[in-house]
Amino acid sequence: MAKSPQIAVIQFPGINTEVETCREINRAGMKAHLVRWNERASTLKKFDGFVIGGGFSFEDRVRAGIIASLEPIMQAVKEEAARGKAVLGLCNGAQIVVESGLIPGITGEKLAMALARNKRVQDGKVLGTGYYNAWVKMKCVSKRALFTQHFEEDEIIDAPIAHAEGRFTSELKEMLEDLHKNGQMVFRYCGENGAMSFAYPTNPNGAVYNLAAVCNPAGNVMAVMPHLERAPRASAKLFEGMRDAILERKQGDVKGRIPRLNVKPLSAELSKFEPEKQAFRFTIELKITDNTAETVNITLQRLGFENVSVARATHVEVVTSGKVDSDKLAKKLIKSGVLMNTNKEVARMEGEERAAADDVQSISLLVRDTEDFLGAAKTATLRQRLKMSDVTEVRIGTLWTISISTKSTNVAEQTLKKLLDTHIFFNPHSQRGVRV
């Protein structure tokens, strides 16, 4: 009798579904082992498969999944996945494997997708954004993933979702078509009778192709946003499929040609910020410790960027209807409490930036979501509730001040390019970065 597959459940700080994930793995006849993110990467070699569960790894700092994806243990997971071992990402785990490049699995494991902020769309209007939890229906539209062998093709299953950034999207439109052709689109959100509609509530987060789960070309890695481990019927089929596929692989029964996803990733080149003429700008900084910036600094140090430190601020651009007293309007906006919390934040008008030391090259990077839902919400509040008709549009972004300890501009530019290659500051499939 074959030995039960041994499964590592990777525990990052903030992951909070390890108990039910381990329970479901064990219920399927496998043996779950909790492996913490800071254990030796070599520990993973003895396991037959890996599951990264849901929660809020590193409190979703910067964006969901990115910090965990840069931890050393994920490099070991990549190496084991390349050997054909099973890797399953559930909810936050899905965000982590997407940010790591394991999904959709283009050549070189380059970043090719994003799990962007949710948007609930109906009749062309965005009804809501951000965190959303509900039970949804999804259809198994492909059996390429090894986890799906116990699902029927076109089978409709029920499962809960609970996420703020679960909208599968990519700027590589041809690649999305390839995913469809390759059968890498595994589960798609659907209605009661299996019909596909982009509209909410059938599509609960605005994902392209109604995507709920995507696998890599080989089918041994899958990212799924719904919490299948919380849906007993679906969970049994998911983990029993994983079990049987692992046992088949051990016996050498895995067959099938693996398609390639040889796609050119997006360039990390930055354009220059072009300010709106009829607008003024200011930044909002925390008076208290900025844990997000501290986490980025720690991560960059661990990645070898010892001469780099970062600071973070919220960047606000207020577009106006015409000639206004920008200082007066800015004070009114700040006092309103819509844009900031004066108890823990301080505003600085454009031009009040601090000078860098002589031996430090300072680079300002502005990151905005491709779809600025936060800015749109602030605009609506100011115009409709507070009757600030002079405000035409508010644009919200994150301003990163990157300090590089060097006197050489060339060294600073080379370092910046390496930093951008980590994608720690922004995902180009859902965000835009410009130099200020």
Nearest to residue 227, comparing CAs of 15, 7, 389, 401?
Answer: 15
**For the chain, first and last CA: distance in Å?**
64
111/107 Cα distance (integer angstroms) = 10
Catalytic residue among 24, 71, 80, 229: 229
341/115 Cα distance (integer angstroms) = 28
CB 167 within 8 A of CB 117: yes
Rounded to the nearest 5 degrees, what angle is found at the Cα of 212, between the Cα atoms of 373 and 84?
125
Catalytic residue among 24, 71, 80, 91: 91
SS3 381: helix
CB 257 within 8 A of CB 100: no
Q: Sheet containing 211-215: which strands, arranged edge to edge? A: 31-36, 6-11, 49-52, 86-90, 221-224, 211-215, 185-189, 132-140, 156-163
Q: Examine the residue annotation and report whether 91 is marked as an active-site residue of this protein.
A: yes
Residues 99, 102, 103, 109, CA torsion sign = positive
Amino acid letter, 56: F
Q: Examine the residue annotation and report whether 274 is marked as an active-site residue of this protein.
A: no
Nearest to residue 369, comparing CAs of 315, 420, 295, 293?
Answer: 315
Catalytic residue among 150, 163, 227, 423: 227
Q: Examine the residue annotation and report whether 240 is marked as an active-site residue of this protein.
A: no
Rg (CA), the chain: 23
CB 73 within 8 A of CB 228: no
Cβ-based neighbours of 180, under 8 Å, separated by 6 or more:
209
In sequence order, the β-bridge partners of residue 348 are 283
Nearest to residue 374, comparing CAs of 92, 166, 117, 147?
Answer: 117
Catalytic residues: 91, 227, 229
